[in-house]
Structure 1
Amino acid sequence: MADPVISLVVERTGDLLVQKIVFLKGVRGHVERLQNDLVRMRCFLKDADQRQDEDARIRNWVSEIRAAAYDAEDIIEIFASKLEFFTKDKGLVTKLTYYPLKIVNLYKIGKEIESLRMRLNDIADSREEYGINNLGEGMTTHGEELQRIRRSSPFSEEKDVVGFGEITKSLVAELLKEDKNRRVVSIVGMGGAGKTTLAKKVYNHADVRARFDCRAWVCVSSSYNHKETLRTIIKQLYPMTNELLDMLEKMQEQDLEQRLYQDLQDKCCLVVLDDVWKEEAWDCLAKAFPDVNTSSSRLLLTSRNRDVAQHADARSKPHELKTLGEEDSWQLFLGKALDHGANVGCPRDLEEVGREIVRRCAGLPLAITVVGGLLLGKKELKIEWEKVLNSFNTNLSKSQSGVSAILELSYADLPPNLKFCFLYLGLFPEDSVISVPKLIHMWVAEGIMQKRDAKNLEETAAYDVEQLFSRNMVQVAEMTVDERIKSCRLHDLLRDLAIRKAEDENFFQIHGTRDDKISAKPRYLAVHSLSLDKNYFGTSTSPVSAFFQCPLLQEKH
């Protein structure tokens, strides 16, 4: 989490050097050395970021770096503005009058930066004191362990599946089409939407079983191992013998690719590639699957990233898995939460609180399944269901495979610039329809957008919105006539994730009532539905970078 903070601060200090070079030339060397220190700190942060959730020492260390990075940005920006005031658009006499103040402020900023550099050095040295040397060596991160636990299998097919009837028929029909070329049929959707569950239904469908001579299922995941993936597929194409196992263990990647390629040439086979995160993973695997003159073999791919699916087969439109509707959500919930299943219906005294629990799940099958499973182990008492509702977010993230942890994998996979953009969306109230042009202007004005690949800032921001949509981190509310995103919304559970991550970083804080306290150092402060007065903030000296009264910023449907 601190890595995007440092990345943004490094870019902003670089921009300030360019923009304010006339005013900062007296301390340019100080600023450049500070920037270099922050760049070096990033070397330690990637592994620390992945491990801080389970290690309080690392979490504290990362927090110190984050605070120093924020202070660096404040120091440079404040003093640059002061020096600009003393110098810009002033006559000669005025400039001479202000010259002593300019010298004093140049001295002050130099001292402040040197003090901050000493602080960064102390933080770097404190790794030994905290006992967190050798970050990343021989360690399994929480995300990797979670993915290992969740590796899918086609044999544990879900019962009580609802809402997948039509899309299952469509997927089966596409897989059974006659075509001698390699075809990849894809299912895309946000984490927890039921992609793997749907793929299992298709994989075990009677028509699919009858059509294909052999079937193979492999979970790819973000921690992709090419050799192991190839071995897993080949093992499912043949009866296992000790001789085959020994041979596969000794084969190199190129040999495994060639073996699989040859095996698929004369077989009518279905291969499921579940949970593909990167285009690079597909590119590695594609070499092992014949592209022409096949025996009608097919690939079924699931991914959270729409771009991965389109990259695998541009001719095949990905099947997008939407969240469940109200009635399907209710039926799934009843099937998971009650011993007697959904057919008997819900006890009358539980229905109101039950439907509120379902509403909070916002149509996400994984959330409904987790909460329903939790209630199944409790008595069918209203007070027990109300306890679950009142501690909703805590209950969703209790287990290692909890909803929050699953969605957090999608967040962890975002590059630093997209992490900041995603966190920013958490500022908006629940169920907001967010105008993308307005959002882009806000990102640009706040300096969150950095120019990349020769794009101007507005183009870069629009591209980042598209990337968040492609990764199923935002939902489209409305499209323009030229098929660009006009407005978007954030799923409630993803918004909860954004708020939790942002508050961990002191990136922003949301106030919903006058009783909420301002934390030590939020960078942004959002106030939802409050009439403000001059006494609202009391005597707080918190250095808030920006303030938003959110009802003025977006519509709410």
Structure 2
Amino acid sequence: MAEAVLLAVTKIGSALAEDAHTAIINKLSEKVNNLKELPGKIKQIEMQLKIMSNLIWQIGTVYLTDKVVKSWIGEVRNVAYHVEDVMDRYSYYALQMEEEGFLKKFFIKGTHYVSVFSSIADEVCELENEIQQVIKMKDQWLQHAQIVPNQLVEMERQPSQGWFPEFVKDEDLVGIEDNKRWLKGWLYSEEPNSTVITISGMGGLGKSTLVTNVYEREKVNFPAHAWIVVSQIYSIDALLRNLLRKIGTVGLPTPAGIDKMDGHDLKEEIKKRLQNRKCLIVLDDVWEQQVYFQIQDAFQNLQASRIVITTRKDHVGALASSTHPLELQPLARHDALELFCRRAFYNRCHGLPLAIVTIGSLLSSRPQIETWKHTYNQLQSELSKSDHVRAILNLSYHDLSGDLRNCFLYCSLFPEDCAMSRESLVRMWVAEGFVMGRGKNTPEDVAEGNLIELIHRNMLEAFEYDELGRVNTCKMHDIMRELALSVAKEEKFGSANQYGEMIQMDKDVRRLLLCGWNANTPLKSCKILISMRCQHL
């Protein structure tokens, strides 16, 4: 929910950075009341919005359930959208005067621009009042306990160190035999030294399920073994202590005073216990390479040790040696059908095991065929409401920075299964103001970097490459798109509607996609309209 505030702050900074705009304001201030104070007032608004944005980030809003807090954040969002509109008008007219010649515009259309900037100055005064109202609402209605970090989010991001994925029986697993063979082969390869194996892919593909199935069967062949859940928030010392407790062997009980040991002492004790022993260590749900780099010296010079890492991020997957990365893919159609039929029925989950099981379980409790048809017609909303599915995918969304979140949500406004052009996305993101130049990098460079980052995080899928090896088009997995659409709708960021569903359209959304085609019309010829914010320019 802080993304709207961030975008407004970005646009304020962009407008105030233009020296030409300042010159225009100084000249027009001779005829426009309050205009001279406009930059200072806008700067003050920027500062207040930054504080509000920080507060919202502190609360955490992925699973926000407090209705009072949610309502207040909604009011902050409305103010941010109003600020964005005003700043767009301010920048538009200032740039128009600059490009067409300030003196000409001032003397020929002076009255018009005096009127325009007078209106902008009045709106800034309105914004000041709106912000004060929002501040009063927080002081009046929000208690301290309501604005501390959301505990449900923290629990989701930092599972208990004793947590272990549920073991899934072989008869309940489908389509993983080849991956199991690869993984087992790497565990027992002839390599004498410590070997890193990575299992990567988007949330819900079954990375932990695959590794759990292999780990539970093979750990008996490794005198020292441990499963450590890392997740997004972690402490290196806590990870090392947990590892030391789990690799305790006969004759070497957990050392006294383990809670007082520092990182160096913990690593030395781990080395002592692993010396001359084959070990199997699983680091589950790793989000940053730094995790492994900070503890790897505890595994160095070990005989035939195997470190298995599961991750959603490609750059973490790159920790594996060149022959040991395993990137999971969605299930093939026949495997997905088999898995779904074991629960209920298959059609729309596009190979994502988590989604297949969730919808299958949903339909299994509804025996009548007519009820199934009704459920099928609303699978998108049913799936986006599933706490389990959303919890898995929300972790990926929650880990994004504000500008990446805006770029990600924007992709959901393209039609389902649409191949999105790299060049089009870059231009649209820059035009929306989602990205700004950084150092010597142009906004287009930054936008292209954002696209690659989303692909590396497995939140977008590279679809085609050009002759230089660059991503030419990309797609968004349908289940990931449903998550993005549900968030976009809640945030009033945007809405995607089938042609003919105008009656269901949310009138307050900032962006709208209308897409309509019949069953015999190829996707590329469908009518697409992305309507941006309406502004009274």
TM-score by length of 2: 0.86
**Equivalent residue of 2:198, what SS?**
strand
Q: 1:4 to 1:258 in 2, by over 3 A?
A: farther
In 1, Cα distance between the equivalents of 2:80 and 2:208?
41
C-alpha deviations, 1:377-429, integer Å up to 9, x for none? Answer: 454x32343344234245435554x2122111111111111111110101111
Contact preservation (8 Å) 2:384, 2:483: no
Residues 11 and 87 in structure 2, CA contact (< 8 A), matched pair in contact too: no
Q: Does 1:122 align with 2:133?
A: yes
Which of 353, 357, 372 is equivalent to 1:385?
Answer: 372
Out of 303, 312, 333, the position equivalent to 1:304 is 312
Tell me by how many angstroms 1:31 deviates: 2.1
Aligned to 1:370: 358
Query: How far does residue 109 in structure 1 lie from its aligned partner after superposition?
Result: 2.5
The aligned residue for residue 544 of structure 1 is 534
Change in CA separation of 1:527 and 1:133 when aligned onto 2, cut-off 3 Å: same
Residue in structure 1 matching 2:207, options 184, 195, 205:
195
Deviation at 1:525, TM superposition (A): 1.8
Partners of 1:510 and 1:18 in 2: CA distance? 35
- The residue number in structure 1 matching 2:468 is 482
Correspondences of 1:85-96 after superposition (within 5 Å): 85=96, 89-90=100-101, 95-96=106-107
Report SS of the residue matched to 1:65.
Answer: helix
Letter in 2 for 1:228: A
Residue by residue over 1:430-478, the C-alpha shift from the partner in whole angstroms, topping out at 9 and shown as x without a partner, is: 1111121222222223322222353222222221111111111011211
Range with greater deviation from structure 2 (474-483 or 486-495):
474-483
> SS where residue 196 of structure 2 aligns?
strand
Residue from 171, 188, 202 that aligns with 2:183: 171
Q: Matches of 2:272 and 2:25 in 1, distance apart?
A: 65
Aligned pair partner of 1:523 in 501, 510, 518: 510
Letter in 2 for 1:195: K
- Note closer, same or farther for the CA distance 1:545–1:501 as it changes in structure 2 (3 Å cut): farther
TM-fit CA distance, 1:42 = 1.6
Equivalent of 1:236, from 246, 264, 267? 246
The AA in structure 2 aligned to 1:191 is G
- The yes-or-no answer on 1:221 pairing with 2:231 is yes
Q: Does 2:291 correspond to 1:281?
A: yes
2-structure distance, mates of 1:184, 1:280: 14
Q: Deviations over 1:230-264 (max 9, x none)?
A: 22222221259997275333433332232223323
Distance 1:487 1:369 in 2: 30
In structure 1, runs of 5+ residues without a counterpart are: 338-353, 532-540, 547-557
Tell me the distance in 2 between the aligned counterparts of 1:13 and 1:151. Answer: 47
Q: Deviations over 1:484-504 (max 9, x none)?
A: 211111111111111111111
CA contact (8 A) 2:60 2:149 kept: no
Partner of 1:501, secondary structure, is helix
The percentage of counterpart residues that share the same residue type is: 28
Q: How does 1:306-345 map to 2 (within 5 A)?
A: 306-310=314-318, 312-313=319-320, 315=322, 318-337=325-344
Is the Cα–Cα contact under 8 Å of residues 306 and 318 in structure 1 kept in the other structure?
A: no
Q: Give the ranges of 4+ consecutive aligned residues of structure 1 lying more than 6 Å apart after TM superposition.
A: 240-243
Q: Which residue of 1 aligns with 2:78?
A: 67
Distance 2:74 2:470 in 1: 38
1:359 is matched with which residue? 347
The residue type equivalent to 1:72 in the other structure is V
User: Do the aligned partners of residues 69 and 267 (structure 1) sit closer, same or farther apart at CA in structure 2, a change above 3 Å counting?
Assistant: same
Deviation, 1:80, is 3.8
Unpaired runs of 5+ residues, structure 2, are 27-35, 519-530
Output one character per residue of 1:114-168: Cα deviation in whole Å (capped at 9) or x when no partner: 3212321321232232224355537513362476389852672344211111122
Q: What is the aligned partner in structure 1 of residue 2 from structure 2?
A: 3
- Aligned to 1:360, the other structure's residue is in SS state coil
Does the 8 A contact of 1:23 with 1:80 survive in 2? no
| Cα distance per residue 1:506-542 (max 9 Å; x no partner) | 11122323342443432222121279xxxxxxxxx99
CA separation of 1:54 and 1:153: change in aligned 2, threshold 3 A: same
Indicate conservation of the 8 Å contact 2:459/2:476, yes or no: yes
Moved more, 278-287 or 488-497: 278-287
Which amino acid counterpart does residue 307 of structure 1 have in structure 2? H
Over aligned residue pairs, what C-alpha RMSD do you find? 3.0
Aligned to 1:161: 173
Distance in 1 separating the partners of 2:154 and 2:173 = 27
1:149 to 1:60, Cα distance in 2 relative to 1, 3 A: farther
Q: Is the 8 A contact 1:277 1:305 kept in 2?
A: yes
Distance 1:460 1:65, change over 3 A: same
Residues 94-128 of structure 1: CA deviation (Å, up to 9, x unaligned): 63354455445444333321321232132123223
Distance 1:317 1:3 in 2: 39
Give 3-state SS (helix, strand or coil) of 1:361's partner: coil
TM-score of the superposed pair, with normalisation by structure 1: 0.83
Q: From the superposition, tell whether residues 187 and 37 of structure 1 become closer, same or farther in structure 2 (CA, over 3 Å).
A: same
In structure 2, give the amino acid aligned to 1:30: K
- Compute the displacement of 1:368 (Å): 1.0
